[in-house]
Amino acid sequence: MNYAALDLTADVAELTHALLNINSVSGQETPLADAVEASLMRLPHLTVVRDGDALIARTEQGRSERVILAGHLDTVPLPTAPGSRGTVPASWDGDVLYGRGATDMKGGVAVQLALAASLQETDRDITYVFYDHEEVEASKSGLGRLARNHPELLDGDFAILLEPTNGTVEGGCNGTMRFEAALAGRAAHSARAWMGENAIHAAADVLSRLRDHEPLTINVDGLEFREGLNAVRIIGGTAGNVIPDSTVVEINYRFAPSRSIEEAETYVRTVLDGVDLVRTDAAAGARPGLTHPAAAAFVKTVGAEPKPKYGWTDVARFSELGIPAVNFGPGDALLAHSDNEHVAAEEIRRCLSALRTWLS
């Protein structure tokens, strides 16, 4: 395939199809970044900067307000189950497009590209951001790298992240953190189990506390954010005839954006008092920011009641930069990463229409 041949003037759903056919699993974004760069470089009204596999394209009209439209280029790995349709290459079923990244989030990226090509003069300056490594650990984030290397190019008054939201504005996002709970035992032959101490059995107390924990729902600036505290992985055991002497339970906490990282960690340690916990990762959430005039105007244009974003997204990074941000994009977030990931063509078109109306 000629990756330099993206037609940004095509129907936005067909543009999404073209993007889906370029495999861009995290760490393999270069071909897609090349195609996006080649397409943007053909637009004389934009200034384009590339950093690794991330790109920033900006209008320079001298307007008093600048908005940012951002989206990530990478996807999670392709499905391996037989008969999976959410893979590469993509396929149509009537007006529904199946493929890896259909919802998360190449439909949103297609909307960005369509706007970049069609909006040559607007009342606001626009910055389009396309970045790599969103679906992996935060230390690899292309958006984080852009913020470090080119902070002046990410300056703006308001940002929209085109993550899938079913075409409804979702304000803010929950924070997330992970812990490891290490349980110790004493190894022994399983035929003489009384000579050892079973570390996997010792995990029962941690698991039962997590099972019985009642997650909170916290109102933040008018939106109800549901929290979650769960075991997400357990590692232990060495052989089928050995009493395990160690096991590790990995725990994930999704916390309301009203909590700081320190407050969230204190909460988990209170729930699991007495458990040896090591925090391995943390990212703060973002408050909704819907009181910002640009956000209020955008919500009015969309017309639907705003909702909270339960998962963590890069609106939190924009919040750290002092830029109010919301999530708004085509597709159902519940289909993201699924074996049958798909999006309806009309959803992508509606998203494009709403943003074009607001921006122009």
Give me 88's structure tokens: 């590469």
Tokens of residue 335, six digits: 């289909």
Q: Is 137 left (phi over 0), alpha (psi -120 to 50) or beta?
A: beta
What is the Cα–Cα distance from 112 to 127, expressed in whole angstroms? Answer: 10
Integer Cα distance of 110 and 44 in angstroms? 19
Taking the C-alpha atoms of residue 175 and residue 142, their distance in angstroms, rounded to an integer, is 19
Contact between 128 and 39 under an 8 Å Cβ cutoff? The reply is no
Q: For residue 57, give the 3-state DSSP assignment.
A: strand
Catalytic residues: 74, 134
Identify whether the C-beta of residue 39 lies closer than 8 Å to the C-beta of residue 110. Answer: no
As a whole number of Å, the end-to-end CA separation of the chain is 34
* Residue (of 42, 77, 58) closest to 130 by Cα position: 58
Q: Which of 9, 6, 10 is nearest to 20 (CA)?
A: 6
